[in-house]
Structure 1
Amino acid sequence: MIFFVYACQCMSTLAVVRRETRSWKWPLVMFASMSALAYALAVLVYQVGLALGYT
């Protein structure tokens, strides 16, 4: 669930960024950075849960 909170799920948002910037650079950067952040936070929450004994 943590992943889906932070991941960029709305493709129309990427399309609007693409249209407004007239470049694929920023939508790709936005998608990659938000996906990496979402993955890192999901792993962090999972590891903290394991360390606290929640399985």
Structure 2
Amino acid sequence: MRRKYSLEFKREVVKDALVEKSLSLVARKYRLNSKMIYRWIHEYKQGKYSSYK
């Protein structure tokens, strides 16, 4: 079964990953796959997670 993550959670993880500079540490902290975090960062930089959409 696929999990759904809230926009707020994704933003929190992405911001933590951008500060930490280590996807593997952030992935372990949130118990996520590092490839998922990489995708979220990519989407975040494209503006997908902006709050005014």
The reply to whether TM is greater than 0.5 is no
TM-score by length of 1: 0.37
The TM-score, its normalising length taken from structure 2, stands at 0.38
Q: Which has the higher contact order (CA 8 A, sep 6+)?
A: 1
Structure with the greater alpha carbon radius of gyration:
1
Structure that is richer in helix per residue: 1
